[in-house]
């Protein structure tokens, strides 16, 4: 457990994306989603835990009726490197065959997690299926996967804040920052 405030603050190396930059992109993409899905049954799916902050703020910029769903997938566990194994720990409860599905993800790194989720959901015959990600780190991609919408592309750095964590800490930061591993 990380309880020392000085240690906590010392792990925030530098801010990569400020809150005002995030807010501007959220408004832009919320308007785009509103136009694209107007008059269509939309289900926006958050991949927990990291995407919950992103999804909550994005949804406030979508001006059409829609439903929200949640899934949880895990590949990082306690460290800063992906284990390579993707486990679905919580699945959707909705029958998605009646919806246009938009998956909201916090970050696409290796691509394995989203590729597995997309393959799994396509088997359930949604009307359409797209992915929106807050962050994309294409230099780390290990499988062929690209989001339909990307708010920010970032370099190969381990990032925290705005829902992203390291061992469950730092999700509450209102910006995206580089994590200092102090190695």
> Do the domain assignments include residue 65?
yes
* Sheet with 176-179, side-by-side order of all strands: 12-17, 176-179, 159-160
Q: Report how far residue 70's alpha carbon sits from residue 49's, in angstroms, rounded to the nearest whole number.
A: 9
**What is the pTM for the complete model shown?**
0.90
CATH number at residue 173: 3.40.50.2020
Burial zone of 88 (CB within 10 Å; 0-12 exposed, 13-18 middle, 19+ buried): middle
Instruction: Indicate whether 31 belongs to any domain.
Output: no
The model's pLDDT over 121-173, given as tens digits with 9 standing for 90+, comes to 999 999 999 999 999 999 999 999 999 999 999 999 999 999 999 888 999 99
Q: Is residue 36 part of a domain?
A: no
State how many domains the chain has: 1
Asked if residue 22 belongs to a domain, the reply is: no
The encoded tokens of residue 92 equal 């959707």
Q: How confident is the model at residue 6 (pLDDT cuts 50, 70, 90)?
A: confident
In a domain, 5, yes or no: no
- pLDDT tens, residue by residue, 36-77: 999 999 999 999 888 999 999 999 999 999 999 999 987 655
| Highest mean pLDDT: which range of 31-35, 90-94, 144-148 | 31-35
Decide if 165 is inside a domain: yes
Strands 176-179 and 12-17: antiparallel
- At residue 27, the pLDDT reads 98
User: With bands split at pLDDT 50, 70 and 90, how would you rate the model's confidence at 87?
Assistant: confident
DSSP structure class, residue 9: H
Query: Is the pLDDT at 113 greater than 90, yes or no?
Result: no
110 inside domain:
yes
Structural domain of residue 64, as residue ranges? Answer: 41-178
In a domain, 101, yes or no: yes
- Which residues participate in catalysis according to the annotation? 109
């Amino acid at each position: 457990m990380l309880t020392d405030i000085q240690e906590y603050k010392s792990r925030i190396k530098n801010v990569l994306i400020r809150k005002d930059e995030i807010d501007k992109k959220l408004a832009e993409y919320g308007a785009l989603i509103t136009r694209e899905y107007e008059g269509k049954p939309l289900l926006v799916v958050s991949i927990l835990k990291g995407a919950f902050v992103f999804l909550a703020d994005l949804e406030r910029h979508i001006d059409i009726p829609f439903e929200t769903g949640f899934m949880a997938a895990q590949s990082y566990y306690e460290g800063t490197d992906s284990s390579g194994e993707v486990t679905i720990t919580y699945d959707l409860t909705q029958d998605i065959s009646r919806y246009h599905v938009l998956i909201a993800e916090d970050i696409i790194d290796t691509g394995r997690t989203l590729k597995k989720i997309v393959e799994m959901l396509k088997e359930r015959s949604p009307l359409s299926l797209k992915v929106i990600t807050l962050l994309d780190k294409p230099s780390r991609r290990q499988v062929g996967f690209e989001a339909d919408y990307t708010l920010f592309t970032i370099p190969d750095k381990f990032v925290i804040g705005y829902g992203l964590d390291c061992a469950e800490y730092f999700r509450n930061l209102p910006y995206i920052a580089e994590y200092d591993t102090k190695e």
